[in-house]
Chains A and B, each alone.
Chain A
Amino acid sequence: MPTVRAASVAIESVGKRFADGPEVLANVTLAAQPGDFVALIGPSGCGKTTLLRLLAGLTLPTHGAVTLDGVVPIEARERLSFIFQEPTLLPWLTAQRNVELPLRLNGEAKNSRHERALELLRLVGLESAAHQFPRQLSGGMKMRVSLARALTRQPGLLLLDEPFGALDELTRNRLNEDLLRVREKTPFTAFFVTHSVSEAVFLSNRIFVLAANPGRIAGEISVSYPYPRTAEWRESADYQRLVARASAMLRQTQNAEGSGTPS
Chain B
Amino acid sequence: MNASAKKSALWLPPLLAGACIVAIWYAAIAIFNIPTYLLPAPHQVLHALWREQASLFPALLRTGGSALAGFSTAVMGGAVVALALASSRWLKAALYPWVLIIQMVPVVVMVPIFVIWFHAGLPSITAIAFVISFFPILASTTLGLVSTDRGQLELFTVLQASKAQEIFLLRLPSALPYFLSGVKIAATLAPIGAISGEFLAGTTPDSLGYLLLIYRSDPGKMPEVFAIAFVACALGFLFVGGVKLLSWWLLRHWHESERSGE
A contact residues vs B (CB 8 Å cutoff): 56-58, 77-78, 80-82, 84-86, 88, 90-92, 101-102, 104-105, 133-135, 153
Interface residue from B151, B156, B255 paired with A91 (Cβ < 8 Å): B255
A-B CB contact pairs (8 Å), 5 listed: A58-B154, A85-B151, A90-B173, A90-B174, A105-B169
Contact A88–B149 (Cβ < 8 Å)? yes
Main secondary structure, interface of B, reads helix
**Alpha-carbon gap, A134 to B155, bound state (A):** 16
**Alpha-carbon gap, A57 to B176, bound state (A):** 30
Contact A56–B159 (Cβ < 8 Å)? no
* B interface bracket (residues with beta carbon within 8 Å of A): 20 to 34
Residues of B within 8 A of A85 (CB): 151
In the complex, the chain A residue whose C-beta lies closest to that of B149 is A88
Known A84-B151, A86-B151; contact A92-B253, beta-carbon cutoff 8 A? yes
Contact B255–A58 (Cβ < 8 Å)? no
**A237 CB → nearest B CB, Å:** 40
Known A88-B149, A92-B253, A135-B254; contact A82-B154, beta-carbon cutoff 8 A? yes
Interface status of B259 (Cβ within 8 A of chain A): yes
Residues of B within 8 A of A81 (CB): 158
Interface status of B157 (Cβ within 8 A of chain A): yes
Interface status of B99 (Cβ within 8 A of chain A): no
Residues of B within 8 A of A102 (CB): 159
Residues of A within 8 A of B158 (CB): 56-58, 77, 80-82
Contact A105–B161 (Cβ < 8 Å)? yes
Interface status of B165 (Cβ within 8 A of chain A): yes
Contact B253–A84 (Cβ < 8 Å)? no
- Known pairs A80-B158, A84-B151. 15 more at Cβ < 8 A? A77-B158, A81-B158, A82-B154, A84-B155, A88-B151, A90-B169, A90-B170, A91-B255, A104-B169, A105-B156, A105-B160, A105-B161, A133-B254, A135-B256, A153-B159
Interface status of B152 (Cβ within 8 A of chain A): yes
Residues of B within 8 A of A88 (CB): 149, 151-152, 154-155
**Alpha-carbon gap, A104 to B166, bound state (A):** 12
Contact B160–A134 (Cβ < 8 Å)? no
**Alpha-carbon gap, A134 to B149, bound state (A):** 15
Contact A101–B159 (Cβ < 8 Å)? yes
**Alpha-carbon gap, A78 to B157, bound state (A):** 11
In the complex, the chain B residue whose C-beta lies closest to that of A53 is B154
Residues of B within 8 A of A134 (CB): 254
Residues of A within 8 A of B176 (CB): 92
Residues of B within 8 A of A104 (CB): 169
**B248 CB → nearest A CB, Å:** 14
In the complex, the chain A residue whose C-beta lies closest to that of B253 is A133
Residues of A within 8 A of B151 (CB): 84-86, 88
**Alpha-carbon gap, A85 to B150, bound state (A):** 12
Residues of B within 8 A of A135 (CB): 253-254, 256, 259
Residues of A within 8 A of B162 (CB): 105
